[in-house]
Amino acid sequence: MKAVNNGGVDQLKSNACLKTTVILFISLTFFYLGKIWSQNNGDQKLIFFTTQSLLSPSKVILSPNLNKLFDLSAIISNDTASDFKTLAPVSPLSDDFVERMGVLDEAGAMTEEFSVGEFDAELVENRRSGNESEVGVFDGRVRVKRMKLCDWSLSEYIPCLDNVEAIRKLKSTKRGERFERHCPETRLNCLVRTPLGYTTTIPWPRSRDEVWFSNVPHARLAEDKGGQNWILVDKDKFRFPGGGTQFIHGADQYLDQISEMVPDIMFGGHTRVALDVGCGVASFGAFLFSRNVLTMSVAPKDVHENQIQFALERGVPAMEAAFATRRLLYPSQAFDLIHCSRCRINWTRDDGILLLEIDRMLRGGGYFVWAAQPVYKHEPVLQKQWEEMVSLTTRICWNLVKKQGYIAIWQKPVNNTCYLSREQGTQPPLCEPDDDPDNVWYTDLKACISPLPKTGYGTKVTKWPARLYEPPDRLQSIKIDAYLSRKELFMAEFNYWNETIASNIRGLHWKRFLRRNVLDMKAGYGGFAAALIENNPDCWVMNVVPVSGPNTLPVIYDRGLLGVMHDWCEPFDTYPRTYDFLHASGLFSIERKRCNITNIMLEIDRILRPLGRIYIQDSLSLMDELQQIGRSLGWGIAVRETYEGPYESYRIMIGKKRMLKK
């Protein structure tokens, strides 16, 4: 039994030895064939390494390729070799080579020795020659051509109001058609120059009383209106005593008189948003700021064509606008008070069509203040004008609350009861039910009364400042998809911008940039402007609602803010160098489908003051294009991530318009 077992073990050992021998033979055979094949084909030879004990140094076994020469062109194809360039040998880095571009050293500790980059003389603004030149490097590779400069004659050019060719072709100008928008077919493709001697604007509140002469170098208004305390020339400045044609003793005294006549006006409480028609240099609105009232000052670009320019230079909200044949670009029930002091408008012409435009914009229960000669003079012509005004205001259901001296004050009704109780056939009629009183973009005036909403929306607004934070009733009338979540969207917008602006004011010193005049190019519900008020920088905001989106202007005005409708495919109705800070969130990704983005950026440059900032938050896919355009305009550009982090699909671009060399 024992012999049998030993025999079986010997047989198993023989089989294992045979298998090992066969495997070793096959391996050597394939290795030998591979070596012969590689020699015949000229391919790179095998290199062998061996590892010794950890106690002894590692050794490298020499390759069979030692001392052999190879033709690389035979190994690498011609197509591949052509893609490579000869590289210069790289010298080893010395310890002195490290350039510190941040405030942390290699160990992560803060250091005072770091580099801020080299000065590039090509980026310094020196454009007086007006020729195109390169301004810098985009993304380290591409040189960007600078836009050429416009002719000096265009330094105060407002494209849609200074279109001389279109104005000449008008069939009639008797109703003021020449003061309305007539946009040119071709856009400016150059940068508007600043006047020689232009300097940084005087900060508010000093700017209320004085501005630099060199920034608005026009003395005619001072010559015409100096005796009425509008404006005076004092060496290198214009001074504003605060008077007006009808209140030569000062706006403060005039405002006190209005408050005494009708205490319910209550500036800064019931009255938060006002419209000053035929504003002159906007002293009425300038002095209302101290009473917590925002005033939109409007006037046409007429014989006193620089009056709005003076208003804006002072830091007062103002726009070029005319009561002519089209609706003004403000919503229904926008203003708590509308003021006209010697504004030279015939309110009763054409069946009262101009006063009916005032009625459309005046909030239910709001006041119309008229200071004019027909109120207090008894000459036959003037008395006739007064009688016509009383007749018209009675027929549109306004109540003459007070007439004292040269001031008359009417109040608009708060509901439709009076309209519906008028005798049949009374003129003017109510507007048709399908007429939208908030449709204002290139909409003709209508000689009819816009009835108030049956829901009372627009008339029931809370007092300031509570109305800034409470979602207004008219939020429900905005044409957007969301219905149940509108109030949540309203609050979310405010909370987002409040947090963002608070962080930027603390960390990025935004108060230095938000000098006075701010424009929000896509305002939504006005959350950006509301957040600025919450964080107390001394500025005001023009909230622009683009025609390409939902009309949220009624909500903006119900909050106690200012705004206007606009199409960014066309130029904006304001002078060059109007705004210190422009904000555009999500604008370009929408308007690129309708407009040329370069044209919008050129318009931004036109209305932005030198040293002003533009803050753009938009899609990541647009940032490269916007950077290139911004550099072609000569702006300083910085791009950073949003607070949501690097994986967010949006980025922030901050541009700074440079001051031209004197």
Q: 130 Cβ partners below 8 Å, 6+ apart?
A: 148, 149
Q: How far apart are the C-alpha atoms of 145 and 135, rounded to whole Å?
A: 7
pTM value > 0.85: no
Choose between 374 and 142: higher pLDDT: 374
The predicted pLDDT at position 646 comes to 76
- Residue 254 contacts residue 244 (beta carbons within 8 Å): yes
Residue 281 has pLDDT above 60, yes or no: yes
The predicted pLDDT at position 64 comes to 52
Alpha helices in 455-607 (DSSP H): 486-507, 527-534, 553-558, 588-591, 597-607
**Burial, 592: exposed, middle or buried (Cβ in 10 Å; 0-12, 13-18, 19+)?**
middle
- Residue indicated by tokens 């250091």: 111
Q: How far apart are the C-alpha atoms of 111 and 102, rounded to whole Å?
A: 9
- Residue 318 contacts residue 563 (beta carbons within 8 Å): no
SS3 538: coil
- Residue 372 contacts residue 407 (beta carbons within 8 Å): no
Q: In what order do the strands lie in the sheet containing 407-411?
A: 318-320, 294-299, 273-277, 335-341, 362-371, 407-411, 399-404
What the block records as the tokens of 657 is 């318009």
Helix 349-361 × helix 380-395 angle, to 10°: 50
- Which H or E element spans position 13? helix 2-41
Mean pLDDT lowest among 10-14, 263-267, 433-437, 537-541: 10-14
Mean pLDDT lowest among 51-60, 438-447, 566-575: 51-60
650-656 vs 636-641, strand pairing mode = antiparallel
- Residue 351 contacts residue 388 (beta carbons within 8 Å): no
Strands (E) located in 242-357: 273-277, 294-299, 318-320, 335-341
Q: How far apart are the C-alpha atoms of 108 and 176, rounded to whole Å?
A: 68
Q: In what order do the strands lie in the sheet containing 232-234?
A: 210-212, 237-239, 232-234
Residue 607 has pLDDT above 50, yes or no: yes
Residue 215 DSSP one-character state: G
336 φ, ψ (degrees, to nearest 5): -75, -25
- State the average pLDDT over residues 34-43: 54
Q: How far is CA 629 from the centre of its chain?
A: 16
Q: 360 Cβ partners below 8 Å, 6+ apart?
A: 327, 332, 437, 450
Q: How far apart are the C-alpha atoms of 560 and 294, rounded to whole Å?
A: 8
- State the average pLDDT over residues 34-58: 48
318-320 vs 294-299, strand pairing mode = parallel
Q: 413 Cβ partners below 8 Å, 6+ apart?
A: 364, 365, 397, 398, 399, 419, 452
What is the full DSSP assignment across 37-93?
A: HHHHHTPPPP--EE---TTS--EEPPPTTTT----HHHHS-HHHHTT--PPPPPPPP
Q: How far apart are the C-alpha atoms of 285 and 307, rounded to whole Å?
A: 13
Report pLDDT digits (tens) over 104-159: 444 444 444 444 444 344 444 444 444 443 434 444 444 557 899 999 999 999 99
Q: How far apart are the C-alpha atoms of 397 and 426, rounded to whole Å?
A: 11
The predicted pLDDT at position 114 comes to 44
- Residue 515 contacts residue 580 (beta carbons within 8 Å): yes
Q: How far apart are the C-alpha atoms of 39 and 111, rounded to whole Å?
A: 59
Q: 294 Cβ partners below 8 Å, 6+ apart?
A: 272, 273, 274, 288, 317, 540, 560, 561, 562
Residue 333 has pLDDT above 70, yes or no: yes
Question: What are the structural domains of the chain?
Answer: 248-420 (3.40.50.150), 463-656 (3.40.50.150)
SS3 411: strand
What is the full DSSP assignment across 541-560?
A: EEEEEETTS---HHHHHHTT
- State the average pLDDT over residues 240-249: 82
The predicted pLDDT at position 93 comes to 35
Mean pLDDT lowest among 312-326, 481-495, 521-535: 481-495
State the pLDDT confidence band at 469, using cuts at 50, 70 and 90.
very high
SS3 566: strand
Report pLDDT digits (tens) over 376-429: 999 999 999 999 999 999 999 999 999 999 999 999 999 999 999 999 999 999
Q: 494 Cβ partners below 8 Å, 6+ apart?
A: 469, 525, 527, 530, 531
**pLDDT over 70 percentage in the chain:** 79
Residue 543 has pLDDT above 90, yes or no: yes
Cα–Cα distances in angstroms (integers) from residue 640 to residues 144, 645, 656, in the given order: 21, 10, 15
Report pLDDT digits (tens) over 486-524: 999 999 999 999 999 999 888 878 888 778 999 999 999
